[in-house]
Copies of this chain bind each other. A is one copy, B any other.
Amino acid sequence: MSNQALFESTIRHVAVLKAASDEEVQLIARMGIQRSIEDGAFFFMQGDPAEYLYIMLTGRAKLCQIAPDGQQVNLRTLNPKQLFGAVGAVDPQATYPACAQALEDSSAIAICSAEFRKLLEEHPHLSFGLMKLMTGYISEMQNRYREMATEKVEQRIARVLLRLAGQTGKRVEEGVLIELSFSRQDLAEMAGTTLFTVSRVLSAWEKQKLIATGRERVMLTNPHAVMRLAEGLDEK
């Protein structure tokens, strides 16, 4: 498949652009260039000028923030067909508010923010898709913020597992399997805690047969119980 065709077929399935006509899809595809990066490399760093926006083609990446002191927080994972890094299309002077780091060898369509902005001006109905994405983010971040502020570690870890299960979990005989390169450290960054605490909590749950763990691997053998934990029911 030619690059152009590959781009088009991917773009056609991007949620944000579902209102795009065939013609618009073609236009966007022509604006794109492919960028492939290795596991651990960055599509962009927090604070860089937001010159490109991206649409994930293959692989996975994480959006994360790095505090001045080096501590990291994981905001979300980026999967194929997801659009990310679009701030530049809205404000030409914007810088990325987070960094995007590949969790495995990955590739994405890179589109020049300024060009995309022009496209938005000429095809304004596309803005609605983008705005919907943004309001969704806002709403999600507000919820996560509340969770971080009011819930305790166990609940937050349970939520992380459920979110991952929903995004990339595979249903197998014994439960739902999350098998990706997520170390305890990564889980800790998603839950806002330390790898030690994550390890301890998962061990405890394993003893209670709620989950089964392995190296960079978690299986939810009793997803329903994990959901109850996330909701903070079981309050002892």
Chain A residues close to B by CB (< 8 Å)? 65, 67-69, 71, 73, 75, 87, 90-91, 94, 97-98, 121, 124-125, 127-128, 130-132, 134-135, 137-139, 141-146, 148-151, 192, 231-232
Contact = CB atoms under 8 A, between A and B. Distances in A.
A138 B97 contact: yes
A128 B129 CA distance: 13
A91 B150 contact: no
Given A65-B145, A98-B142, A137-B138, 12 more contacts: A65-B142, A87-B139, A91-B132, A121-B125, A127-B128, A130-B131, A131-B134, A138-B138, A144-B145, A145-B145, A148-B148, A149-B192
Contact of A90 (B68, B71, B131, B143): B131
Each complex incorporates copies of this chain amounting to: 2
Contact of A149 (B121, B127, B148, B231): B148
A75 B145 contact: yes
Contacts of A144: 145
Contacts of A146: 65, 67, 73
Nearest to A65: B146
Nearest to A156: B149
Contact of A132 (B90, B141, B142, B149): B90
A151 B124 CA distance: 41
